[in-house]
Amino acid sequence: MWDYSEKVMDHFLHPRNVGEVENPDGVGEVGSLACGDALKLAFKLDEQGRIKVVKFQTFGCASAIASSSALTELVNGKTLEEALKITNREIAAYLGGLPEEKMHCSVMGREALEAAIANYRGQGQGKKPLEGKIICKCFGVTDKEIERAVKENNLLTLDQVTHYTKAGGGCGGCKPLIQEILDQLVQARVAERPAPHPPKGRLTNIQKIQMIQETLAREVRPALQRDGGDVELIDVVSDRVQVALRGTCSNCPASSVTVHDYIQAKLREFVADDIVVEEVEE
């Protein structure tokens, strides 16, 4: 069972602002029953251009209901410009946090709000605008949506992308494309700041995993990919880092050299000097 905060349970069991708005100024709809989550949000403005009535109808899990309820509380009384500044992370924070696997519910709320405001401004029919190329056909997620989620939430792994967008959560056929987009964005992100040096003191496991992922993206993967190879982080257990070589590297006679003399050396340089890298076959 998911570990929900008291506030999530309160908004799930006693959702605020449920229903329809009479003669709404803007209406937004996202998701579909076929995908498991659907949300309709409508609002009406007062004479000063502030949201005076906002209501929602949703079909989904506890997180979807709670996120929609929280969103209506956050936008009530705000101008449209102020409402558009609310991020999915603010929705989750308002609820005292959401399980990472349910963060797509907060994203869905933000998308419904944006669709409703676009509808009010005459920019759409109240449906989420389709921008970019569809990557995940199961859930209709585009490359632009994936890029936005990665950038706004500092995502680092394919699983995180799925948790925030649902992309890759169906048949899984789009996962290589998602990984390609993720790799490019992570590499661009880490290239913008100077290479970190191992901090003094003990690293938490989360800090260590993040530094390992960033070092692989910045220092290791570009060199391997130039020769048609690649590396994937499989697991981190204490000071042991398990990786799998991909592409030409997977069948290379010198794979042990790549693992120990190159990958391990880079991780010891930029993360921790006691890291041991192990190759696993999948």
Does 196 map to a domain?
no
Greatest alpha-carbon span in the chain = 73
11 and 105, same domain (yes or no): yes
Task: Catalogue the active-site residues.
Answer: 35, 105
Q: What is the CATH number of the domain that holds 170?
A: 1.10.10.1100
User: Which of 236, 258, 238 shows the shortest CA–CA distance to 246?
Assistant: 258
The predicted-structure confidence for 102-114, as pLDDT tens digits, reads as follows: 899 899 999 999 9
Residue 25 shares a structural domain with residue 116: yes
Supply the mean pLDDT for the chain: 86
Region 115-127: mean pLDDT is: 83
Structure confidence by residue, pLDDT tens digits, 31-68: 765 556 789 999 999 999 999 999 999 888 899 999 99
Domain match, 67 and 115 both = yes
pLDDT score of 282: 66
Residues 141 and 53 both lie in one domain? no
pTM of the model: 0.64
The pLDDT of residue 255 is 80
Instruction: Tell me the average pLDDT across 127-144.
Output: 82
Q: Based on the domain organization, do 26 and 97 belong to the same domain?
A: yes
Contact 178, 159 (CB under 8 A): no
What are the residue ranges of helices labelled H in the chain? 6-13, 62-75, 80-84, 88-94, 103-120, 143-153, 158-165, 175-191, 205-215, 221-226, 255-257, 264-270
**Cβ–Cβ under 8 Å, residues 137 and 174:** yes
Pairing of strands 276-279, 240-247: parallel
Q: Does residue 165 share a domain with residue 269?
A: no
CATH number at residue 38: 3.90.1010.10
Print the domain residue range for 181: 134-191
Residue 229, strand partner residues: 247
pLDDT tens for residues 150-199?
888 888 888 889 999 888 888 889 999 999 998 888 777 766 655 555 55
